[in-house]
Amino acid sequence: MAWTERQRRMLHEMGLRVWAPLPAAAPTEAASVAAAPTARVAPSKAPEAPVAPPTPSAKAFAAPAPPRAEGDERARHIAMLDWPALREAVVACTACGLCHGRRQTVFGVGNPRARWMIVGEAPGEQEDLKGEPFVGPAGQLLDNMLRALELTREEATPEQQVFIANTLKCRPPRNRNPEPAELAMCEPFLQRQIELVRPRLILAMGRFAVDALLRSSEPIGKLRGRVHRYQGVPLVVSYHPAYLLRNPAEKAKAWDDLCLAAATVEAAGEARQP
């Protein structure tokens, strides 16, 4: 299989090596002489190369979040906020007990009109200290993955700069898993962020991001490889970078997810052209 330079760069950034067969050696005079019989040796298994990038399925798997409850005055209020007011509301939030242990809230970073929106799980210790999602080793891996697609979290155009947010805006104590009540309190913030960004694609990374957006408890391995939808927005599921650091063999699957996401964004752009 021939890999493009862009694909090779993507694989390199994610720590994946591309295997290619060695060129056949030219025959020599000694090779023409019949050799004495030798014991057969089982051939070694060639390393597997990542599969070819998938293309978006023609059939989208819709799994929109349920509408906000009509009696939820807080959610209706958050749904009316603009960017500055939304940020202030997150900073001032005391809706659950996480507010007592946080150093600062983790609102999100990126272009407010980004084509790509990346949704993670909950802030960890480094995110709590810096007030930014995806920092530390997991954040470095995510930056490498984005760079391979010519994307960034740094200042750039909406075509290149992504927007990154978490399902939770405060760090759970000792990095424990988020509780359902905590996710419910933060959900209106994330919904409003998605409504304001209006991305062409959402990349949900990690189990709690998938649970919050798709209302699905299926394993990520069963939800990958197809395009879902969140309130009409195409959504692709992938592994969290922290998981990939613990399980490097899964990086090839994450590469497939990125290819699917990129193809979905490209197809969405072509569909909008007159």
Q: Is the pLDDT of residue 36 over 80?
A: no
pLDDT of res. 45:
45
Asked whether the predicted pLDDT for residue 97 surpasses 80, the reply is yes
Residue 48, C-beta contacts closer than 8 angstroms, at least 6 positions apart: 19
Higher-pLDDT residue of 51 and 173 is 173
Q: What is the pLDDT of residue 111?
A: 98
Per-residue pLDDT averaged across 183-192, rounded?
97
Q: What is the 3-state secondary structure of the chain?
A: CCCCHHHHHHHHHCCCCCCCCCCCCCCCCHHHCCCCCCCCCCCCCCCCCCCCCCCCCCCCEECCCCCCCCCCHHHHHHCCCCHHHHHHHHHCCCCCHHHHCCCCCCCCEECCCCCEEEEECCCCHHHHHHCCCCCHHHHHHHHHHHHHCCCECCCCCCCCECEEEECCCCCCHHHCCCCHHHHHHHHHHHHHHHHHHCCCEEEEECHHHHHHHHCCCCCHHHHCCCCEEECCEEEEEECCHHHHHHCHHHHHHHHHHHHHHHHHHHHHHHHHCC
pLDDT value, residue 268: 82
**Per-residue confidence (pLDDT) for residue 32, from 0 to 100:** 40
Dump pLDDT digits (tens) for 229-258: 999 999 999 999 999 999 999 999 999 999
Q: How many other CB atoms are found less than 10 A from the CB of residue 226?
A: 16
- The average confidence (pLDDT) of the chain is 83
For residue 59, the model assigns a pLDDT of: 42
Model confidence at 16: pLDDT above 90 = no
Q: What is the mean pLDDT of residues 52-62?
A: 44
Per the model's pLDDT, the better-predicted residue between 47 and 245 turns out to be: 245
117: buried, middle or exposed (CB in 10 Å: 19+, 13-18, 0-12)?
buried
Q: State the pLDDT at residue 256.
A: 97
pTM: 0.78
Specify the pLDDT at position 234: 98
Return the residue matching tokens 């304001």: 196
Q: Is the pLDDT of residue 37 over 50?
A: no
- CA distance to 90, 96, 176, 190, 208, per residue, from 101 (Å): 15, 11, 13, 21, 21
Q: CA of 36: how far to CAs of 31, 33, 39, 41, 223, in Å?
A: 12, 10, 10, 15, 55
- Quickly state the pLDDT bin for 9 (edges 50, 70, 90): low
